[in-house]
């Protein structure tokens, strides 16, 4: 018997052999425009030269060291991160994945507040480890894994009344995505975000902002919550911050960081020197190439073109969703077959919620790429016949 990977991921039936910038190539040299980017990881472009150079340099020096030891690369990563994190956050901890970062954010909230309950939102996605899963809404992911470590109450997203009445003094923290990613590309409203922050302040609950998918420039600001004028108590980021290298970060307000003690958490690989070099190179790219501005401008263009596609394919498409370069078309049916057909035509996309065709392209996407993307989607959707319509409101 040959060894196999446990088939948790639905096979794409595509063998990737190399990648650069906004493109990937298959084994016979065919090029694809990559709007999948490994669930949004390669937002800085595949093998971003600044990230690659930084990792290569570090490989010649030291490849492993835990945070118990000081290293130049840790100083470098901290110094660059301090320039882009919210100004009242003076403590960070590095981990390897978004789920691990969410997990630590929840542990910190649990420990510091002494409370055991969490609030999350319908259609939220925060990861698959047990703590992160406990605040992930989709029943499909949760089924068979209970009991969860903490009690979570899921309330409707963008519902001011619900959040005001649910956040009380029993709540350790509220987990909040400024733009819901997996759940269907829904941005939070200003009004909702303001009510959420006020409710947390009043109840003494922490506001944990999950920037794993929307953060690092993708929505047109470095952090997506900047659009909403809110101040997180704890912020988590992952995916694109390492330019393709696995790394995540938890940042906490100074007042919270000062209450955390030796031994309360740890990770063998978290903050690995290569991961820190990836963050350092990633931040150079983010700032040096004005990534948020470019994402905002390209996002506007892509959104305009996608709206034209929706107009002419109203029999199958309901509208455009998302923000910046976190965009999608809400279809009237599950997008799986459409995604397969787009792949055959050289465009890689993914799904969000039950019915959203999701695009998470690198910021490097050009006008020509945008034209190719929208024309290919139009070609596929205009010829599409669908049989069963799913309800409008996204339910994962
Ligand atoms: C908002 C959000 N939080 C957390 C996660 C979990 O990240 P990871 O898959 O790196 O564990 C994801 C992954 O898609 C995400 O979109």
Given this model, what pLDDT does residue 389 score? 76
Distance in Å, CA 126 to ligand 1 centroid: 5
**CA–CA distance, 306 with 57 (Å, rounded to integer):** 41
* DSSP three-state, residue 111: helix
In terms of pTM, does the model score above 0.95?
A: yes
Given this model, what pLDDT does residue 390 score? 76
Is residue 58 a contact partner of residue 242, using CB atoms and an 8 Å limit? Answer: no
Given this model, what pLDDT does residue 396 score? 47
Given this model, what pLDDT does residue 98 score? 98
Q: Which atom of ligand 1 is nearest to the CA of 124?
A: 1
Strand duo 171-176 + 206-210: pairing: parallel
Given this model, what pLDDT does residue 263 score? 95
Distance in Å, CA 2 to ligand 1 centroid: 31
Query: CATH classification of 49-288 is 1.10.10.10, yes or no?
Result: no
97 lines ligand 1 (CB under 6 A): yes
pLDDT tens, residue order, the chain (396 aa):
799 999 999 999 999 999 999 999 999 999 999 999 999 999 999 999 999 999 999 999 999 999 999 999 999 999 999 999 999 999 999 999 999 999 999 999 999 999 999 999 999 999 999 999 999 999 999 999 999 999 999 999 999 999 999 999 999 999 999 999 999 999 999 999 999 999 999 999 999 999 999 999 999 999 999 999 999 999 999 999 999 999 999 999 999 999 999 999 999 999 999 999 999 999 999 999 999 999 999 999 999 999 999 999 999 999 999 999 999 999 999 999 999 999 999 999 999 999 999 999 999 999 999 999 999 999 999 999 876 677 775 544
The crossing angle, in degrees rounded to 10, of helices 49-59 and 273-288 is 150
Domain residue limits, the chain: 16-47+291-382, 49-288
Given this model, what pLDDT does residue 387 score? 65
**How many other C-beta atoms lie within 10 A of the C-beta of residue 89?**
21
Is residue 230 a contact partner of residue 193, using CB atoms and an 8 Å limit? Answer: yes
Helical H segments across 188-325, by residue range: 190-203, 254-257, 273-288, 291-312
Q: Which atom of ligand 1 is nearest to the CA of 102?
A: 4
The residue nearest atom 3 of ligand 1, judged by CA position, is 126
242 lines ligand 1 (CB under 6 A): no
Q: Which atom of ligand 1 is nearest to the CA of 238?
A: 10
- CA-closest candidate to residue 157, choices 192, 185, 182, 126: 192
Distance in Å, CA 358 to ligand 1 centroid: 15
Per DSSP, the residues of 352-383 read ETTTEEEE---TT--HHHHHHHHHHHHHHHHT
Class of domain 16-47+291-382: alpha beta
Q: Which atom of ligand 1 is nearest to the CA of 239?
A: 10
Structure tokens, 351: 């799904």
From 36, 105, 126, 323, give the residue whose CB has the most ligand 1 atoms within 8 Å, as the site to mutate: 126
Contacts of 296 (CB under 8 A, 6+ apart): 219, 220, 324
The residue nearest atom 16 of ligand 1, judged by CA position, is 213
Kindly report the length of the chain.
396
**CA–CA distance, 193 with 163 (Å, rounded to integer):** 10
Distance in Å, CA 350 to ligand 1 centroid: 15
Given this model, what pLDDT does residue 1 score? 77
103 lines ligand 1 (CB under 6 A): no
């Amino acid at each position: 018997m040959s060894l196999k990977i446990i088939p948790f991921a639905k096979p794409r039936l595509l063998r990737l052999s190399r990648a650069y910038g906004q493109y990937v190539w298959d084994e016979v040299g065919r090029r694809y425009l990559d709007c999948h980017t490994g669930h949004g990881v390669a937002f800085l472009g595949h093998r971003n030269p600044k990230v690659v150079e930084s990792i290569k340099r570090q490989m010649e020096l030291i490849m492993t060291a835990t945070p118990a030891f000081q290293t130049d690369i840790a100083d470098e990563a901290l110094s660059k991160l301090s320039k882009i994190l919210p100004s009242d956050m003076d403590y960070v901890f590095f981990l390897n994945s978004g789920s691990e970062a969410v997990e630590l954010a929840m542990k910190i909230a649990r420990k510091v507040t002494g409370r055991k309950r969490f609030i999350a939102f319908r259609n939220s996605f925060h990861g698959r480890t047990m703590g992160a899963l406990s605040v992930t809404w989709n029943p499909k992911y949760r089924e068979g894994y209970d009991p969860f470590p903490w009690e979570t109450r899921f309330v409707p997203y963008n519902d001011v009344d619900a959040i005001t009445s649910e956040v009380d003094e029993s709540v350790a923290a509220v987990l909040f995505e400024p733009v819901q990613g997996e759940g269907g590309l829904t941005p939070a409203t200003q009004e909702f975000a303001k009510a959420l922050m006020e409710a947390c302040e009043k109840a003494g609950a922490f506001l944990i902002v999950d920037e794993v998918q929307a953060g690092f420039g993708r929505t047109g600001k470095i952090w997506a919550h900047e659009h909403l004028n809110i101040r997180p108590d704890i912020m988590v980021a992952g995916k694109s911050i390492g330019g393709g290298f696995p790394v995540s970060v938890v940042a906490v307000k100074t007042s919270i960081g000062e209450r955390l003690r030796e031994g309360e958490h740890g990770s063998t690989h978290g903050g690995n020197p290569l991961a820190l070099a990836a963050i350092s190179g990633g931040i150079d790219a983010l700032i040096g190439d004005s990534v948020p501005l470019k994402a905002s401008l390209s996002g506007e263009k892509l959104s305009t073109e996608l709206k034209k596609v929706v107009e002419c394919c109203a029999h199958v498409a309901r509208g455009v969703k998302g923000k910046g370069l976190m965009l999608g078309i809400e279809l009237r049916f599950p997008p799986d077959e459409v995604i397969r057909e787009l792949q055959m035509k050289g465009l890689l996309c993914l799904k969000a919620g039950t019915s959203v065709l999701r695009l998470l392209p690198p910021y490097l996407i050009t006008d020509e790429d945008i034209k190719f993307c929208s024309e290919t989607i139009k070609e596929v959707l205009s010829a599409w016949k669908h049989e069963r319509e799913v309800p409008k409101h996204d339910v994962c």
